[in-house]
Amino acid sequence: MKNVLFAALAATAISAPAMASTYLAHSNYDNDVDSWKVRDNLSGNVTYFTPSWAPSGGVPTGHLEFADVTPGGYLFEAPDHFHGDFSSAVGNGGIFFDWKADMIMDNKRPGVSLYRDGVRLIGLGSFGLAESQWHHLDFAFDLSAGWLVDLGNGAQTATMADIQWVLEDVDDLRIVGETWTGVSETTWLDNPTIYTNVPAPGALALLVGAGLILPRRRR
């Protein structure tokens, strides 16, 4: 009876193994801004600012906050630990973050860009997001996320080969901050994370268990 139950559980695990994530790069801003910067571009003049660290009210607790300072556009820019080879997440992972803005124009939306050697891979969120509440955005590193790629002559639909190539050697990562034309808005960021999906430990144990049971039953 015990074996029957175990086999049934194992069969469930094989048909739909529970998935968990391994974080390849992550900032939760529990203690500080984790070396993130704000990159402002005013008519080609790039200036870096340090975002504010807000200790409470994020997803959860600590998070970044930045109030617009120039008529140019600003982005949250990741530190070095978001650079490098993340190709293990291609087709089996992605990037997520929690994002909030107090003023969002109809033609503005959150998004993330990953760069390699000037080639830009672009993931875009939805228009019309509610203001002043957190939104969880998650872009899988596959064609389901609608990635665009800009090779220097405008954005076009990205292929898996484009995604693979950029993720092999990411040298810059930026998340949208500017959401309003005019020096008016504030935006907030929490939990930027590059992740891979792996079977949960419980599912793995059941798979191993199934392997132990099946030979015994054949004897």
Using Cβ positions, the residue closest to Ca ion within the complex turns out to be 58
Under the rule (CB under 5 A), what is the footprint of Ca ion?
A: 28-29, 58, 62-63, 68, 180, 190
Q: Which is nearer to Ca ion, 42 or 208 (CB)?
A: 42
Q: Which is nearer to Ca ion, 121 or 176 (CB)?
A: 176
Q: Which is nearer to Ca ion, 164 or 186 (CB)?
A: 186
Min dist CB 118 to Ca ion, Å, is 24
CB contact at 8 A, 81 and 206: no
Min dist CB 31 to Ca ion, Å, is 10
Min dist CB 69 to Ca ion, Å, is 7
Min dist CB 55 to Ca ion, Å, is 9
Q: Which is nearer to Ca ion, 28 or 88 (CB)?
A: 28
Distance CA 186, CA 69 (A): 10
Q: Which is nearer to Ca ion, 58 or 123 (CB)?
A: 58
Min dist CB 219 to Ca ion, Å, is 54
Distance CA 46, CA 12 (A): 54
